[in-house]
């Protein structure tokens, strides 16, 4: 297995590292709430993974990520309706909160198999019997962003990367148990060469669901629910996560996410250069 196939990420020129069709690069512009543009991308990797719970010793057990990969009970040979979804029922403390699905790579962190001197984490990943070191940089203000989001929303980590990489990164990144569940590549829908995060499979009211992602391909089924962020690699003056906090403070109070997201998209489109 190619070591790069465990991580789904973009290259610095906004093209996907794609093992399916390396000659094709997506270029669909998507306007972010702060007026920036990002580009669509193709996804890569052929190894499926699962999502699982983590052993976290934090005292905040009410918010510890749980095992979402449950054995599906059957009724008359078919899954029960409540068991067809990726997420378990909403926890008591999250009732009436909106669900925010958050991407990992190039949204919250940037990872590399090449050594990075100022890496925040170094995660060992075993591939075909060989241990590789993955060097991880945290996006500026990610700690403040996650702490704020965890207080006001039901947060779910959803990445197209493999669990063997993303799960230990999330353990180190999420010191506050912000993520109620973690979903990995196996939970994506493979559609036209892309791993798509199908929000309709979450088991949540889509009027109250938002996805934060740097890849338009990831939310192609539900673009109206998306908050697009630019791909981050190593720019330490980046403030995009910090800038999103006031936006989500407003969105938290809305009855439906759609009007807020539509207003921001229209405003950004009118002020952003073509």
CA distance 258 to 228: 14
Is 105 one of the catalytic residues? yes
**3-state DSSP assignment of residue 173:** helix
Query: Is there a contact between 224 and 262 (Cβ–Cβ < 8 Å)?
Result: yes
CA count, 13 A, side-chain hemisphere, 25: 13
Q: Where does residue 75 rank: exposed (0-12), middle (13-18), buried (19+ CB within 10 A)?
A: exposed
Q: Which H or E run contains 245?
A: helix 240-252
Active-site residue 103, yes or no? Answer: yes
Rounded to the nearest angstrom, the gap between the alpha carbon of residue 101 and the centroid of all alpha carbons in its chain is 6
Q: Please give the Cα distance from 57 to 45 (Å, whole number).
A: 32
Catalytic residue among 14, 18, 103, 167: 103
Structure tokens at 263: 């207003």
Residues 6+ apart with CB under 8 A from 168: 123, 125
Q: How many CB atoms lie within 10 A of CB 99?
A: 25
> Of the listed 14, 105, 167, 174, which one is catalytic?
105
How far is 60 from 70, CA to CA, in rounded Å?
A: 23
> What is the set of active-site residues?
103, 105
């Amino acid at each position: 297995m190619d070591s790069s196939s465990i991580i789904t990420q973009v290259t610095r020129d906004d093209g996907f590292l794609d093992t399916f069709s390396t000659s094709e690069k997506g270029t669909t512009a998507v306007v972010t709430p702060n007026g920036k543009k990002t580009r669509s991308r193709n996804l890569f990797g052929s190894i499926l993974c699962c999502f699982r719970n983590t052993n976290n010793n934090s005292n905040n057990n009410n918010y510890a990520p749980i095992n979402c990969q449950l054995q599906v009970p059957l009724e008359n040979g078919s899954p029960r309706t409540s068991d067809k979804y990726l997420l378990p029922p909403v926890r008591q403390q999250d009732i009436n909160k909106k669900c925010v699905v958050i991407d990992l790579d190039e949204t919250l962190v940037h990872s590399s198999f090449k050594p990075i001197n100022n890496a925040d984490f170094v995660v060992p990943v075993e591939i075909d019997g060989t241990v590789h070191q993955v060097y991880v940089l945290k996006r500026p203000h990610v700690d403040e962003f996650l702490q704020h989001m965890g207080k006001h929303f039901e947060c779910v980590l959803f990445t197209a990367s493999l669990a063997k990489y993303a799960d230990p990164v999330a353990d180190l990144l999420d010191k506050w148990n912000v993520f109620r569940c973690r979903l990995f590549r196996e939970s994506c829908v493979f559609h036209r060469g892309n791993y798509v995060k199908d929000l309709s499979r979450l088991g949540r009211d889509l009027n109250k669901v938002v996805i934060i992602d740097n890849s338009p391909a990831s939310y192609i089924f539900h673009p109206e629910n998306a908050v697009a962020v630019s791909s981050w690699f190593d720019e330490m003056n980046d403030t995009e996560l910090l800038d999103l906090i006031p936006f989500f403070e407003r969105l938290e109070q809305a009855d439906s996410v759609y009007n807020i997201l539509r207003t921001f998209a229209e405003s950004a489109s009118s002020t952003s250069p073509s």
